[in-house]
Amino acid sequence: MDEPARLQPEPALALLKLYDDALPHVYGYLRARCGSHPLAEDLAAETFLAAVAALRRTPPPELSTGWLVGTARHKLVDHWRRVAREEHGLHLVHEPAEDHDDPWDAELDLLRAHEVLRRLGTHHRAALTLRYLDDLPVPEVAALLGRSLHATEALLVRARAAFRRTYEGAEDPR
């Protein structure tokens, strides 16, 4: 038997116990937001391995399925950030100048809305996913994206405009 000298009980052990229950939630969250099956698996794996490290911090976070989903959200944002860096040049070209936030009265067809979301630029997709699918308040979206509140509000205005443009274009294919 080991010398009983542990000041800090191994907190990551609880993660193994929670794993079977939590994995479908983490995977389901990611799958609904990133569409791709292999990507959802990669990010789920990243989430759980990052959780082991996080649980060894002092003080450790309170482990729960909700906390793991929050960790998955960070991993998803990290993924989008990597993709956005690669896409950067592309978006500079495509970013429309006249962005506005006109009132829009429509009832979304959810299937088409998700398809539209997938076709948007990564930073727009990220902002709308966090704000609407995850239903987070704007300050939390800003914190996750590492942007100021004002920059995030402006990004959301542009993202909504891009979404609407694409959605209405998709509604009326010419």
Partner 1 sequence: MSDPLDALRAPVAPEDPDAAFAAALRTRLERAVLDPGGAALTSTPTDTARLAWPPSVTPYIGVPDALRAIDWYVDVFDAERRGEPYVMPDGSVGHAEVGIGDAVLMLAGGAPGTPGDVPPPDIPRFSLHVQVPDVDATVARAVAAGADLERPPGDQPYGRTGVIRDPFGHRWMVQTPPARASRVRHGDIGYVSIGVPDAQRAKNFYGAVLGWRFSPGSVEDGWQVEGPTPPVGMWGGATAPEVQLCYRVADLAAAVGRVRAQGGEAAEPERKPYGRLADCTDDQGIRFQLWEPADG
Q: Is cis: bond before 59, omega within 30 of 0?
A: yes
Task: Count interface residues toward partner 1 (CB under 8 A).
Answer: 69
Could you say which residues in the range 45-74 bind partner 1, by CB under 8 A? 45, 48-49, 52, 56-64, 69
Is 104 near partner 1 (CB under 8 A)? yes
Residue 35: in which H helix or E strand, if any?
Answer: none
Could you say which residues in the range 79-98 bind partner 1, by CB under 8 A? none
Reference 21, options 77, 74, 65, 58; nearest CA is 65
Q: How far, in Å, are 23, 122, 126 from residue 139 at the CA level?
A: 28, 19, 14
Binding test (CB under 8 A) with partner 1, winner from 137, 168, 169, 171: 137
Is 120 near partner 1 (CB under 8 A)? no
C-alpha dihedral (19, 21, 26, 27), degrees to nearest 10: 100
Is 102 near partner 1 (CB under 8 A)? no
The DSSP code for 57 is: S
User: Which residues contribute to the site for partner 1 (CB under 8 A)?
Assistant: 1-19, 23-25, 27-29, 31-33, 40-41, 44-45, 48-49, 52, 56-64, 69, 103-108, 110, 113-114, 117, 128, 131-135, 137, 139-140, 142-143, 149, 160, 163
